[in-house]
Amino acid sequence: MAAALLLQLSLATAQWPDFNKYPVYNKPNLGLVYSPKASAFTVYAPDAQEVQLLLYKEGAGENNIATHNLVKTEGGAFTLKVNGDLKGHFYTFRTRINDKWMEEVPDPYAKSVGINGKRAMVVDMKDTHPPGWENDKAPAFKNKTNAVIYELHVRDASIAASSGISKKGKYAGLTESNTKNAAGLSTGLDHLKELGVTHIHLLPVFDFNSIDETKPNSRYNWGYDPLNYNVPEGSYATNAADGITRIREFKQLVQTLHANGLRVVMDVVYNHTSVTEASNFNQLAPGYYYRQNKNGGFSNASACGNETASERPMMRKFILESMMYWVKEYHIDGFRVDLMGIHDIETMNLISKELHKIKPDILIYGEGWTAGASPLPDSLRALKANAYKLDRIAVFSDDLRDGIKGSVFEHADKGFASGKPGMEESVKFGITAACPHPQVDYSKVNYSKAPYARQPHHFISYCECHDNHVLWDKLALSAPAATGAERISMHKLSLSIVLTSQGISFLHAGTEFLRSKKGVENSFESPDSINAIDWNLKTKNKDVFDYVKALIAMRKAHPAFRMTKAADIAKHLIFVQQLPPGVIGYTLNGKAVKDKWQTISVYFNGTGKEQQVSLDSKYYMTAIVNNIFVTPVNVISSLTLAPYSCTVLYKE
């Protein structure tokens, strides 16, 4: 097999072997299996003539203390058992393929690494547990549509002086309690609890490539450039050189969030690696873990230089075992899958099946699209249009996102919430969680011309995330003539639609007090001056925070906003007919889903003018002019909708 592989200077013109004929290693012991008596190392390298293990005393420097040859075994793997206690040592592997020695790398299954992830570290995982870890338990969680997800970058959360957090930019910063901004309002952990969200979605916290961990403050990145998938990122730890510290501090973060009623979602990026030829995968099994285009080069649906081949057995095995590892070892409660549309449906459904066995209430969701063309046929991939084929996996809705605020690719484009005509059906598509509904005219939906969700838990309702402009900046670009007050109303209306729609709600950190990134569209490598959350905005925009907090509380209190069955949405969510253009209204049969509000009416006015609405009977008014009234203020039978507003009415 090795003779068939031609390693050339330019892999873009390589003649690859038939990867379908590669052997499969089915045992679960790839990587390191440690005990104080011996350490067993196993790597998959089907084309290798030789595989060596190199041992070091430190994570960097010229301090090689031993080199061992591994022995070829079944399924294309090489294995070695080294007697004695290697705890604290560092190690790499290198392969000889077609008479050429490849570069030293940690194996893909490495669970601990030294500085900058260049060498793996031998650790006893029991040494990484914080006190009480064996009793750590996520808060109770029943239906997936109960989730209100909050997307947060670890560094952004605490790095600003206004955070009042001492361990700035670190995992430990989010474990601090009683932190305040200049006006004494809660920040960090206490803010998350106060807001009332259920899941904290952390932007990548696996070991990524773009930050020099010896100088963690010299550069910023979101972290979508994977290096070592099964290890926490070191720049967020207080000591990146020590493989135990980064693990223990991330576990402490998970433990703290759980203890405070919050569940933890990891943002995972299995669709590509940060480097291609030099990656851990490629140095051990060249070409196998990646898809190739017709010319023999690496295909690039990720727009990052490569795309992984999830349909190949050993890549499928790696992704599955990696995600299972994070759930078992780190008690992770969910995954957001980056560019999920690159992965094949069979792999994603297998992952869902196995993860739900471990944690029945786990959340799995992802981007149902790619950043470029893939050689794997669309029909086989986890694209948005194939959401109905996915098992308990949700997809983000760009239909609703752009329906609310306008296209993310056209900066001047408005959406429903900023006054663009003709966006009603796109918003209704989102209100019904992309489930079949007899009152949605799919021919007028902006992107999808048919429903794609079998059930509401297949749908993520959102209007912004880390990508593209944050909502406040997008409104500034698309509605430059609007007054500050009008933009605030547009912002509130946008979040109102997200938090009253069926499906799973998703918020970007800081949107609850009008976070801005100073107009920067994709701030993945912008400095802290752009990305840091300014916690003093919570003081300046306290009314917006209070409103979003109350919307979340209303959603959590009323199951009519989070139905669990598509059939119930079709039957018990009825759109009001013959409303003025730019106005959407619907009623929810709360009684049918055991809501204490027997009937709920929701109206959105996406125009800059007041709109008159006649009601079929008398209601209590709950939210009007984008302000929450905790108790009914009056009983009404007709209604004036303020410009750019959400109104919620109910009958008990």
Residues that are catalytic: 338, 367
**Which residues contact residue 527 at a Cβ distance below 8 angstroms, ignoring those fewer than 6 apart?**
220
Backbone phi, then psi, for 23, in 5-degree steps? Answer: -70, 160
Q: Within 13 Å of residue 392, how many CA atoms lie on the same side as its CB?
A: 18
Least Cα distance to 316 among 6, 48, 2, 19 occurs for 19
**Helix, strand, or coil (residue 262):** coil
**Which residues contact residue 458 at a Cβ distance below 8 angstroms, ignoring those fewer than 6 apart?**
387, 388, 390, 393, 394, 395, 433, 434, 452, 503
Strand ranges across the sheet with 71-72: 31-34, 38-44, 77-83, 71-72
Strands 38-44 and 50-56: unpaired
Residues linked to residue 459 through DSSP beta bridges, in sequence order: 395
Burial label for 259, CB within 10 Å (0-12, 13-18, 19+), is: middle
Least Cα distance to 519 among 556, 476, 554, 553 occurs for 476
Helix (H) or strand (E) holding 422: none
Q: For helices 484-500 and 424-431, give the axis angle rounded to 10 degrees.
A: 40
Cβ proximity of 286 and 7 under 8 Å: yes
Q: For helices 188-195 and 542-557, give the axis angle rounded to 10 degrees.
A: 50
Cβ proximity of 265 and 271 under 8 Å: no
Cβ proximity of 398 and 430 under 8 Å: no
Six-digit token string for 177: 């309690």
Complete DSSP assignment for 157-216: HH-SGGG--SSTTSGGGGG--S-B-TTS-B-HHHHHHHHT-SEEEES--EEESSS-TTST
**Which residues contact residue 324 at a Cβ distance below 8 angstroms, ignoring those fewer than 6 apart?**
354, 355, 358
Cβ proximity of 100 and 49 under 8 Å: no
Q: How many helices (H) and strands (E) does the chain have?
A: 14, 26
Burial label for 647, CB within 10 Å (0-12, 13-18, 19+), is: buried
Least Cα distance to 515 among 557, 554, 552, 466 occurs for 466
Terminal Cα-to-Cα distance of the chain (whole angstroms): 73
Residue 450 burial (CB count, 10 A): 12
Least Cα distance to 171 among 253, 83, 277, 270 occurs for 253
Report CA-CA distances (Å) from 385 to 260, 382, 394, 504, 563.
37, 8, 12, 18, 22
Matching residue, tokens 């990134």: 517
Cα separation of 155 and 534, whole Å? 12
